[in-house]
Each structure stands twice: as C-alpha cells, then as structure tokens.
Structure 1
C-alpha cells in the first residue's frame, strides 16, 4: 500500500477552511497514486471546545470525498453527537475509495480535558478488512499509551495495520514534565510508536496535528502539537517520519502483508498468543 499521512494544521476557527485544505491534500495524494490518506485527530477543529466540533452527518461528506479522489480515507476524527443517546464521542472512520464506511471507532481513553464534555467510546476496538485484504484497526491519540487495545486488535482480531490519528502537544507533559525535558512528549510518542509496531507485529500509522501551517497561517493557541507523524513497522522502525511540527504530507510504500508475516516468522507473537504462552496463560492449561 502507498500510504499518505498529512501532518495538518487544524484551524479551530473555521470548519469550512479545514474541509477546503483537506480536499487539497486529498487531490495531491491522489495524483501521487496513494491508496490511503490519513489526517489528524479533530481535523475539523474543536479539540479545545468539543461543542464547536460536534457535527452530524459528516459521514456523507467524507464518503463523497473518498469517492471523488478514489482513495481510502481515515479523516482524523470528529466530535460526533450520537442522535440516539445525545452524547458527544470522539469518532474516527476507515472509509474505502468507493465511499463505504468499513470501520467506526470511538475513543476509549479520553485525554484529561476531554472528559468534561465528551463520552468514553462504547464500540470497543474493532477491525475490518480493506480492499487490499489487510486487516485494519483504529484508535485515537491517548489510546496509544495503552497496549491492551492493540493486543486485542492485533492478536485477537489479527490486525496488520493500526492507524492512530492524534492531537498530541508538548504541553501534555504538564509544567513539571516540561521542566524535566521540554522534548518529553516527542520521546514518549516516538518510543511508543516503535514499541507498538514491534510488539504487535503491525504497521503503525501515527498522524499528528501540525503547529506551523504550510501556508504560514498563524493560529492563536496555548497548545503546540509536537508533530512527529510517522509510519513505523517491525524490523525497521519508522520508514518515514516528520521530525518537526510543521505541516507536511509524507508518503511511503509499505508491503504490509510481507512485513507482518516476516515479523511473525521471527518472533511468534501471534502463535504464542494462540497457544497461551503470552502472560503465562498456558499454565492454566497444565
């Protein structure tokens, strides 16, 4: 698969502007023959004020864009209000090039400021098989810190590709953390992306927001995203990564089926899971 990852500056002031720039990147990725394009968490805005981003019927527009540019799409996430229970969920999707929504995910591990107005996800950690025959899983930002969801997707459901849209900032370490090391969150994210890829034998796509726009459009914000969007795989680590927080689209061709199978042949993680060797579960069978 040829995967495009857009480290995108989210404008909290204008959903229309975000839609416009999203489509510009989709057109560019389509010209480069990308099979999949990924955007960051809260791509329409609203991270600091979820009611702004709470939007209904976004799915139709997302599907139309995927069809128009004939590219699979993970549109970051939106704060979506459920019409049945009225709650707001931080929601992402995997949409195929024909506009069909293959997978919906609602964020389980909410970041601390989200918890006042956003409900915890209630759909679990699902997977779906895309048009390339690759099993795909989704999670969002702070979910990256918790390996259990990855174990469920990769080992129980056999995910080979897990996509993580994020809005991850330097300030997430807090004042004390930044006094220890102002680059703390960069080290945190880079280490977790590599760990999750190796320990689960998966291709991991991490797509973070950008601080500086490619069109030099300054935004008022107290939160500065770290960037560091990347595609990370077993054996190699990051095959492509933004080592900065500026807006950029990166691409990589990844033979996901071959890499994940080679990792399994070397490490037996999935085989050992099936046989009960991980976490000592086989002792209960003796």
Structure 2
C-alpha cells in the first residue's frame, strides 16, 4: 500500500488557482504510482472566519476530483466545505478508484457557526478498513472512542495547522504521536502549506516518515 501525502499551497478564496495547484500536484504524485493521494483540509477553497462561500463549490469540486480519481484509478482523500440545509460542515471525502464517494467524515472539533459531525465511519478497501478524521479531531476524546470502536486499519488526517503558529515543531509532532497511539491505527497526516508538512505514524504512535514545507511524502507500508 503506497500513500502520497501532498502538503499543498492553498490560497483562501481562490478556487481556480487552488485547482490548478491540486491538479499539478496530483499528476506529479502519480509518477510514484501511489494507491492513495491525500490532500489537506478544505484545500480547494481555504477558509477564513466566517466566510462559508466556498461551500457553494461543493458539487463542482466533487465532480472534478471524482473525475481525476477515476481517470487515474487511485483513491483520493481531501477536505472541502459541505453545505447542508442552513449551515456548513467541514468535511473530508475518500474517493474510490472508480470515482465513487466511499467515505465522508464531518469534523467534530469545530467552533460555533459550523455544523459538527457526531460519528466516525469506515470504508473497505483492498488494503483493509480506512477512516478519516480532520485536524483538531485528532485531539478529541469522543473521536478516540469512536475510532477504537470501529477499529480501522489506517486513518487519514487532512489538516490546516495555522501558519500563525509557525512550522510544527518536535513538541507538536510528539503530541500527534500520543494521540495516534490512543487510536491504535496507522495514521497519515498532511497539512496545507504554509507551513506544510506531512507525517506517517504506525499504530503504536511511532513516527515512520515525515516531510517539511511543501514537499510530498510518499510512504509504502504493509497493509
């Protein structure tokens, strides 16, 4: 099982620029022949409090990404804003090799004005059960309970760690590792750039590989 984590540069509110970057990075990643290509949280629109206009692009984004996945025959994980009735979810999707939506996760750990998720689901792949959580969900106690109940084989974590905090440091990565240890599954984290970065942990919370800035991280593991 080969996973390509893409710390993509994201411009808030600039969908077409973000799409060109998404497509470029996706095509470059295909040169490594990955099974999964994983992008950050709301990577095609960005988000700025409290501008939810990017949610209006949900159908357009879904159509474009599913076409890429289908044409390349790979799984794609990415975050986007999802409109629902009178509010918006911060969501992430797992798209299958045939372009179908296999899994949707709605983020738990969000402030007011967002709708928030209330469960963790899994999807079957040829490599085992996959789950998705988003950014701050990694530190949510309810999430940990759900994950342990569902027992996924691996977890994807699209993230947008604010550039205001600077580049994630040793302490930050150590905190990630402690949370992954509680979840008990191989975990792949990818952050938007700036500040970027990507990390792959085993089920015991041990860091197996990482990258900095906008550098892709390609990891091959035994399923």
TM score, norm. by length of structure 1: 0.71
Query: What's the C-alpha RMSD, in Å, of the aligned pairs?
Result: 2.0
1:200 corresponds to which of 183, 188, 191: 183
- Deviation of residue 80 (structure 1)? 1.5
**CA distance in structure 2 between the aligned counterparts of 1:236 and 1:156, rounded to whole angstroms:** 18
Gaps of 5+ in 1: 173-181, 212-224, 257-286
**Is the helix fraction higher in 1 or 2?**
1
Which structure carries more relative contact order (alpha carbon 8 Å, separation 6+)? 2
- Deviation of residue 235 (structure 1)? 5.4
Q: What is the aligned partner in structure 2 of residue 71 from structure 1?
A: 74
**CA distance in structure 2 between the aligned counterparts of 1:12 and 1:234, rounded to whole angstroms:** 34
- Deviation of residue 86 (structure 1)? 2.8
- Deviation of residue 78 (structure 1)? 1.1
**Is the strand fraction higher in 1 or 2?**
2
CA deviations over 1:82-137 (Å, ceiling 9, x no partner): 2xx23111111011111111111111111x4xx3x322225x111111232x1111
**CA distance in structure 2 between the aligned counterparts of 1:109 and 1:200, rounded to whole angstroms:** 16
Answer whether contact 1:40 1:208 (CA < 8 A) is retained.
yes
- Deviation of residue 65 (structure 1)? 1.1
- Could you say what secondary structure the match of 2:23 adopts? helix
Q: What is the aligned partner in structure 2 of residue 52 from structure 1?
A: 53
TM score, norm. by length of structure 2: 0.89
- Could you say what secondary structure the match of 1:118 adopts? coil
Gaps of 5+ in 2: none
- Could you say what secondary structure the match of 2:52 adopts? helix
Residue 198 and residue 86 in structure 1: after superposition, are their counterparts in 2 closer, same or farther (change >3 A)? same
Pairing of 1:129-168 with structure 2 (within 5 A): 129-132=124-127, 134-153=128-147, 155-168=148-161
Pairing of 1:152-191 with structure 2 (within 5 A): 152-153=146-147, 155-169=148-162, 171=164, 186-191=169-174
- Deviation of residue 195 (structure 1)? 1.7
Pairing of 1:192-271 with structure 2 (within 5 A): 192-211=175-194, 225=195, 227-234=196-203, 237-242=206-211, 244=212, 246-256=213-223
Q: What is the aligned partner in structure 1 of residue 100 from structure 2?
A: 100
- Deviation of residue 66 (structure 1)? 0.5
2:116 corresponds to which of 83, 96, 120: 120
- Deviation of residue 148 (structure 1)? 3.3
Larger CA Rg, structure 1 vs 2 = 1
Residue 148 and residue 190 in structure 1: after superposition, are their counterparts in 2 closer, same or farther (change >3 A)? same
Answer whether contact 1:144 1:192 (CA < 8 A) is retained.
no
**CA distance in structure 2 between the aligned counterparts of 1:29 and 1:70, rounded to whole angstroms:** 13
- Could you say what secondary structure the match of 1:162 adopts? strand
Residue 147 and residue 255 in structure 1: after superposition, are their counterparts in 2 closer, same or farther (change >3 A)? farther
